[in-house]
Structure 1
Amino acid sequence: MTERGIKWACEYCTYENWPSAVKCTMCRAQRPNTTIITEDPFKSSPSDIGRDWSPAGIGSGNSPLICPDSSARPRVKSSYSSENATKWSCHMCTYLNWPRAIRCTQCLCQRRTRSPTESPQSSGSGLRPVPPPVDPCEEYNDRNRLITRAQHWTCSICTYGNWPKARKCAVCDHPRPNSFEAIELAGAEEASSIINEQDRARWSRSCGSSNSQRRSPPTSKHEFEKKMDFQRIELAASGVSCKDEREVDFKKLKQIKNRMKKIDWLFLNACIGVVEEDLTAVEAYKSAGGDIARQLTADEVRLLNRPSAFDVGYTLVHLAIRFQRQDMLAVLLTEVSQQAAKSIPAMVCLELTEQIRREIAASLHQRKGDFACHFLSDLVTFTLPADIEDLPPTVQEKLFDELLDRDVQKELEEESPVINWSLELGTRLDSRLYALWNRTAGDCLLDSVLQATWGIYDKDSVLRKALHDSLHDCSHWFYTRWKEWESWYSQSFGLHFSLREEQWQEDWAFILSLASQPGASLEQTHIFVLAHILRRPIIVYGVKYYKSFRGEALGYTRFQGVYLPLLWEQSFCWKSPIALGYTRGHFSALVAMENDGFDNRGAGANLNTDDDVTVTFLPLVDSERKLLHIHFLNAQEIGNEEQQEKLLREWMDCCVTEGGVLVAMQKSSRRRNHPLVTQMVEKWLDRYRQIRPCVSLSDGEDEDDDDE
């Protein structure tokens, strides 16, 4: 025999390869180490033709074929001569298949059973054909598919089949339902019962008498999958039920899922979060830039598959009202009220905003010594440019709609007069405060502090990290002030309660944990620490009571007042404060507009300032002329109002107006302000200067029409 005649057959596709081939030319399978066959690898002795396969034949001397799916599957003896002579033609594609195949290799169509009167294709003997033997490989395929399918768990949102060990859906990140263990057990029991039936049928066919009547061959793989039905299981986590495969068009659902993006999955999770009272899912959708007013479509309702809860056209607000989620409704309504596109300087000038964030991170330092608190080395105060007044009234209105939070401004001015209640301060002294629009996430306090100073958000959590580190590094100092202040505050309201040291420590640990969690709401203690980081006072003008949606007072807010950096030396701090507004769980930055100094103000003080300095008078009393509270004073500093007023004058530049209002002076200068902030504001203002000619032209045309 020549070298050309020695070939080896692939054990997967039975293709005859040349002896020099390392891999199969057809399926690229690795060449076996011992399988080297002759030109006619499937040739066997005449006595072997037509012999039925049995488990005992595995150890015979004939060359077996190993099933490619698993090494544990039975080996099937081949008889090439008889099979090649009795191939059957597919009635769909006319492909000639091997007689052992129960479906077409080309189109997977089921093989038709010949009638008793039909003769074999290649034999003219007229004998009735023997039904094709059952391929044991198909039974093993069905076994493995059934076991794997029973162990998979189906996502309640996108219906994707996930592996048993997956904790979240691989497509939409929805958590695995708690009832998966029960689902897995039920599926395993059903799989084991079907597998046992298959085993009994297979062994009865292989070990039964040759004269006994053979059972009909099992259904094909395609029909087997059609008969597999998904169980109806109520998922406890989301309340969504998986429908039977026959009732749902999975092809349509797959097309819907393929078209969906990440923001779409976040929206569906937010809808489920409203139903299940999970605020984190709603916050995740908001932080990704999702539209709160977005409505559910028919395809999304079909994916959610819960008509009792979701309907076409529903928004997150509708769901919050339907399921009475009052806390979520407060956050969602605040978002929906801001339907106008916001255009604040931090959003318009992204490159400058990133540079300012890096500048803030570089200006943060830590004080050496016992009181190792972090602090900012730069004094920056954000004010609105005076050039806004040079714009036409229509452009000014558009600018303020996109810059300010109209709801916060109205609540602080009208519903409860907290700011701009003095005509003397707002008109003659030109110290009107404007509430900047702010995000409604849990970082609104940190965002408002940076807006009042640098005009940007705390997007990278630089200020939150400094807050967390300062609280931990100086925990003893802040804890002593906090404990003494809380004890005095409770006694002043007649509560007369005392806590054990363990309870004080637990409350303090909770305050520390809030500082380390991005998105967590902050308290008065955190404002006190922020005053030390800024090295300047913080004045909070806030509503006095928590109110329900019916307008009922639920309790005191305790946020309004003055926060002084009392743990620093006075010489180390600046006396120019910043102002914040507090309304219904939300903080906003209160800023003023640039003015021309003190020329015609007549404030009761002799002030030597430059012409380029802007001074804003911040009232230290409320609308009833009562002094604002100073937070976190110790027993020696509390005293009466005269002592507190003296303390305010020591930490801030204060004066009394002609109307008798005690005010603190907030000073800012263009020349001493940070150049990046000035450049950001100018670039933002140029957007409104460009639309000025169009408005002027239209106004001029209207005037000409009036003259005619």
Structure 2
Amino acid sequence: MTEQRVKWVCDYCTYENWPSAVKCTMCRAQRSRGPIITEEPYKHGPDRDSALEWDSPRPESDSSLLICPDSSARPRVRTPSMAEIASKWSCQICTYLNWPRAIRCTQCLCQRPRTSSPTESPHTSGSNAGGRLALHSPVDTCEEYNDRNRLNTHQQHWTCTACTYQNWPKTTKCVVCDHPKPNNTQEVADLAESVEPTPIINEQDRARWRGVCSGGQGQRRSPPTPKREDRGKMDFQRIELAAGAMSSKEEQEVDFKKLKQIRNRLRKTDWLFLNACAGVVEGDLAAVEAYKSSGGDIARQLTADEVQLLNRSSAFDVGFTLVHLAIRFQRQDMLAILLTEVSQQAAKCIPSMVCPEVTEQIRREIAASLHQRKGDFACYFLTDLLTFTLPADIEDLPPAVQEKLFDEVLDRDVQKELEEESPVINWSLELGTRLDSRLYALWNRTAGDCLLDSVLQATWGIYDKDSVLRKTLHDSLHDCSHWFYTRWKEWESWYSQSFGLHFSLREEQWQEDWAFILSLASQPGASLEQTHIFVLAHILRRPIIVYGVKYYKSFRGETLGYTRFQGVYLPLLWEQSFCWKSPIALGYTRGHFSALVAMENDGYDNRGAGANLNTDDDVTVTFLPLVDSERKLLHIHFLSAPEMRSEEQQEKLLREWLDCCVTDGGMLVAMQKSSRRRNHPLVTQMVEKWLDRYRQIRPCASLSDGEEDEDEDE
């Protein structure tokens, strides 16, 4: 026989305690002679109720003993008589019948109504309060002690203002949601009714990892996140609660009129900054991201008024920035993001920043060129074919000016990671040197829309600031949901089986995952997935090639999983005659997309292993490899079962949808063609104004070079 464990059941919360426990582990009530549970180790199911036993033999004739297997009931050692039941008092809030000497309601802790002095006996008090004579019965002293003990215990607990969980006094944070303990529990408890509880959202622990990228690494199953405005409102209330939660001693020292004036002067950006500071202390990355996405300055410092309003001298000091707070509280993940943001904001100048008037005209042109196809597949599409390239006039600038230009327009960190840390781009000397097909990673925002921004950067050279492309993406997914859903479901089933995950989902689960993908497309700043890139290829009516790292890693360099972004996305649901064969290239690093563009060249004559391009000097041809550094063919996403049968079948598919050729080194490449004549005049005007900015500093650079030469001659 297996060794049995004997437990005793609490009379109040029915928690099963170990025999050595004097008080209930859950509610801290005193142990009474209640039922004892003997159970075998790891015994569950319906047989568990049969394991209930009493600590003394149960005579069959004794009907006063009760065995109640229902966990919601409160088992008693003996059946209370009618006199005892009549002597109980009913709670005015929850109508629970409490024992006579209970000071508060056992269920809701509501104060017992008093119509006489507390020294009166329960018999007299009951007769005065109810106008009738209550039956007197002997009081259960054990029950009276338990009630008082529970009352004292609950008075020591502090209630979390976010999730209303009652925590023990020594805990500094809520054990459920990690919300910090307020300074004044009573005052916060009075204000907690007017504050909306912050929803507890675990964004990392989900059924299947989909990454951490704002451009596509959201999880599949995720609770709906609150709206940005609602979250901002709740964050403001959290700051106000922190400022209002003061002890009585501090209330005498602080001028509350001044604090009120400070709060009235704060704008929305100020509240977002204060909430970001509190988020660094509490480990809330979403608060920091909300401040960044609003365009806040990462290098902003705390003022004396803001420190006084935050009311936590041990955490906040005058002159501190978000970086200082991240260092003090050892938030390494936030520190890496903040330092990257500071270095990127130091000096960045892209064409769309130089001439905002022309950029707005380009956005209106994009909105006007979007149309919806009639028929069953009612997907939106762009009528114009544009490919953004860096102007060849850059090479005419002095080397010092060129270096400054590249520092301001390129993302050096992304370029280094894609070239050196993992050879994804520019790994072929044949393409980079002889064919002059070097790719450059343009600097991109990190506001959460990096995928959409990089697509417009690779085509029109601007950001999706007004979320026009995101709205088009959502409408196309919604109107053509059946077409994309069929491809997505077949691809995901094959992908899971190829990795040895032999499981099948119910149709309800597939529908739930698909609804989550649809919801991501409609939320500005929400993360996007591979499915959204597939839809964007149909909107552009051209292939999209993603050169990305194979694994996404933490800031410590730990491998977390596959990224699944690298590969070719073809507009397979369109007719081939309706699409262009010139692709665009995107780069993917840790949670971030960047546009990969080439520089204009003088054209090519019969390059690419006998491929006759028949181009003039006004056409730029960039050769994009369709294999990785190990000469393996890039994956083609969202293929059907007949299309993914073999590698030869996939290569044939690439040749049908792209202008492909084989180089002298035997490499399969796709030709990206762009022409100055076919480029949009507004884009040309924007690039020229941006380039004039560096042409103006050319004489200064030449003068400094001349002075250096004179010094060398001397």
For the criterion TM > 0.5, the same-fold answer is yes
Structure-1 separation of matches of 2:193 and 2:492: 56
Pairing 1:241–2:248 present: no
Q: How does 1:676-695 map to 2 (within 5 A)?
A: 676-695=682-701
Structure-2 separation of matches of 1:499 and 1:419: 37
The answer to whether the 8 Å contact 1:179/1:236 transfers is no
* 1:252 to partner: Cα distance: 5.1
| Residue 49 of structure 1: aligned partner | none
The answer to whether the 8 Å contact 1:374/1:470 transfers is yes
The answer to whether the 8 Å contact 1:580/1:589 transfers is yes
User: Which of the numbers 451, 476, 480 marks the counterpart of 1:470?
Assistant: 476
Change (3 A) 1:618 1:252: same
Pairing 1:484–2:484 present: no
Pairing 1:269–2:275 present: yes
List per-residue Cα deviations over 1:14-70 (Å, max 9, x = no partner). xxxxxxxxxxxxxxxxxxxxxxxxxxxxxxxxxxxxxxxxxxxxxxxxxxxxxxxxx
What amino acid does structure 1 have at the position aligned with 2:530? Answer: Q
| Residue 48 of structure 2: aligned partner | none
* 1:339 to partner: Cα distance: 4.0
User: Which of the numbers 569, 584, 604 marks the counterpart of 2:575?
Assistant: 569
TM-score (norm 1): 0.65
Structure-2 separation of matches of 1:295 and 1:371: 53
* 1:304 to partner: Cα distance: 1.0
List per-residue Cα deviations over 1:239-295 (Å, max 9, x = no partner). 973354321134654665576554333211211233344444323322332222333
| Residue 538 of structure 2: aligned partner | 532
Partner of 1:337, secondary structure, is helix
Structure-2 separation of matches of 1:234 and 1:421: 51
* 1:341 to partner: Cα distance: 1.6
Q: How does 1:293-442 map to 2 (within 5 A)?
A: 293-320=299-326, 322-323=328-329, 328-442=334-448
Structure-1 separation of matches of 2:346 and 2:394: 20
| Residue 709 of structure 2: aligned partner | 703
| Residue 619 of structure 1: aligned partner | 625
Structure-2 separation of matches of 1:237 and 1:604: 73
Structure-2 separation of matches of 1:234 and 1:669: 55
| Residue 589 of structure 1: aligned partner | 595
List per-residue Cα deviations over 1:436-477 (Å, max 9, x = no partner). 110101111000000000000000000000000000000000
Structure-2 separation of matches of 1:335 and 1:443: 15
| Residue 111 of structure 1: aligned partner | none
User: Which of the numbers 186, 190, 193 marks the counterpart of 1:183?
Assistant: 190
Change (3 A) 1:634 1:307: same
Structure-1 separation of matches of 2:243 and 2:474: 39
User: Which of the numbers 603, 623, 641 marks the counterpart of 2:647?
Assistant: 641
Structure-1 separation of matches of 2:352 and 2:509: 42
* 1:306 to partner: Cα distance: 1.2
* 1:642 to partner: Cα distance: 1.2
Partner of 2:469, secondary structure, is helix
What amino acid does structure 1 have at the position aligned with 2:399? Answer: P
Structure-1 separation of matches of 2:486 and 2:712: 72
List per-residue Cα deviations over 1:528-549 (Å, max 9, x = no partner). 0000000000000111111122
* 1:394 to partner: Cα distance: 0.6
Partner of 2:253, secondary structure, is coil
Structure-2 separation of matches of 1:653 and 1:304: 60
The answer to whether the 8 Å contact 1:235/1:241 transfers is no
Change (3 A) 1:416 1:514: same
- When the two chains are superposed, the root-mean-square deviation of aligned CA atoms in Å is 2.7
Partner of 2:600, secondary structure, is coil
| Pairs aligned (count) | 489
Change (3 A) 1:493 1:532: same
Partner of 2:617, secondary structure, is coil
* 1:603 to partner: Cα distance: 4.0
The answer to whether the 8 Å contact 1:234/1:242 transfers is no
Partner of 1:338, secondary structure, is helix
Structure 1: segments with no counterpart, 5+ residues = 1-154, 157-176, 188-232
| Residue 51 of structure 1: aligned partner | none
Percent of aligned pairs with the same amino acid: 87
The answer to whether the 8 Å contact 1:376/1:535 transfers is yes
Partner of 1:245, secondary structure, is helix
* 1:348 to partner: Cα distance: 0.7
Change (3 A) 1:682 1:628: same
Change (3 A) 1:272 1:704: same
TM-score (norm 2): 0.65
Change (3 A) 1:558 1:318: farther
List per-residue Cα deviations over 1:558-606 (Å, max 9, x = no partner). 0000000000000000000000011111100000000011137454412
User: Which of the numbers 513, 516, 519 marks the counterpart of 2:522?
Assistant: 516
Partner of 1:246, secondary structure, is helix
Change (3 A) 1:453 1:304: same
Change (3 A) 1:309 1:602: same
What amino acid does structure 2 have at the position aligned with 1:523? Answer: E
Structure-1 separation of matches of 2:646 and 2:484: 23
List per-residue Cα deviations over 1:643-682 (Å, max 9, x = no partner). 1111001000011111121111100000001110011000
| Residue 457 of structure 2: aligned partner | 451
The answer to whether the 8 Å contact 1:331/1:440 transfers is no
The answer to whether the 8 Å contact 2:242/2:310 transfers is no
Pairing 1:606–2:622 present: no
Structure-1 separation of matches of 2:435 and 2:429: 9
> 663-672 or 297-306: which moved more?
297-306
Structure-2 separation of matches of 1:697 and 1:235: 55
Structure 2: segments with no counterpart, 5+ residues = 1-160, 163-183, 195-236
Structure-1 separation of matches of 2:585 and 2:605: 24
User: Which of the numbers 655, 661, 664 marks the counterpart of 1:655?
Assistant: 661
Structure-2 separation of matches of 1:311 and 1:607: 65
Structure with greater Cα Rg: 1
What amino acid does structure 2 have at the position aligned with 1:290? Answer: G
Partner of 1:633, secondary structure, is coil
What amino acid does structure 2 have at the position aligned with 1:542? Answer: G
Partner of 2:593, secondary structure, is strand
Structure-1 separation of matches of 2:595 and 2:263: 42
Change (3 A) 1:667 1:250: same
List per-residue Cα deviations over 1:181-219 (Å, max 9, x = no partner). 8326999xxxxxxxxxxxxxxxxxxxxxxxxxxxxxxxx
Pairing 1:552–2:558 present: yes
What amino acid does structure 1 have at the position aligned with 2:481? Answer: S
Change (3 A) 1:705 1:357: same
List per-residue Cα deviations over 1:153-199 (Å, max 9, x = no partner). xx99xxxxxxxxxxxxxxxxxxxx99878326999xxxxxxxxxxxx
Structure-1 separation of matches of 2:472 and 2:634: 28
Change (3 A) 1:482 1:186: closer
The answer to whether the 8 Å contact 2:452/2:469 transfers is yes
Change (3 A) 1:179 1:465: farther
* 1:618 to partner: Cα distance: 0.6
Structure-2 separation of matches of 1:456 and 1:636: 38
List per-residue Cα deviations over 1:319-344 (Å, max 9, x = no partner). 34555656644543431231422110
* 1:496 to partner: Cα distance: 1.0
What amino acid does structure 1 have at the position aligned with 2:301? Answer: Q
Partner of 1:375, secondary structure, is strand
| Residue 227 of structure 1: aligned partner | none
